[in-house]
Amino acid sequence: MPDKTQQQQQKTKELKVFSAQVITLDQIRNDSRKLRLLFAISTLKEVSEKGLAYMVQYLKEERKIDMGYNIVKLGNKLIVRELPDDIKALLYVGLIEVDPKTKKLRLTSNGQEFLEKISKNEDIDNFIKVVDELRSKIVVIDEEVSLTALPTERKRR
């Protein structure tokens, strides 16, 4: 009898294996999409993932600047397919971080140093100006994200 109880109490653990491509700083330096994303985060100081998604859409629809992302709208939801992967890559190499309180993305000191070493061309300067012009629209979306992220106790007060 004790053998059966020991078998029932014995738990198994599953090992989940996933593969991810290793990203280096050189790969980011040569990837214009990730570089532009980095410059956008730098220009906006702090931004949510949702704010970045809307920024990509505004750039494509209003300013005719295609960053190379596939944009899908499902009802009121905006999906930018490759954006989460690019954000993960930038987080992985330590160029950006997530603010624990606001859940917004911002540059790290390594990210600042990395961007200072990148030689800006006219294309990048124009991109930064356009992102700065869109800041007011993106801030509104970020505030909406901040309000929905508040704990329910704060909302009631």
pLDDT in the model for residue 57? 93
**Beta bridge partners of residue 105, listed in sequence order:** 47, 98
Q: Determine phi and psi for 94, rounding to 5 degrees.
A: 80, 20
Q: What is the pLDDT of residue 51?
A: 93
pLDDT of residue 91: 93
What are the boundaries of each domain within the chain? 47-142
Query: Phi-psi region for residue 102, left (φ > 0), alpha (ψ -120 to 50) or beta?
Result: alpha
> Which pLDDT belongs to residue 19?
72
Which pLDDT score, from 0 to 100, does residue 131 have? 92
Residues of the chain where predicted confidence (pLDDT) is lower than 50: 153, 155
Q: What is the pLDDT of residue 3?
A: 56
CB-CB neighbours of 121 under 10 Å: 9
Instruction: Give this prediction's pTM.
Output: 0.79
Per-residue pLDDT, 84:
93
Q: What pLDDT is stored for residue 143 in this prediction? A: 86
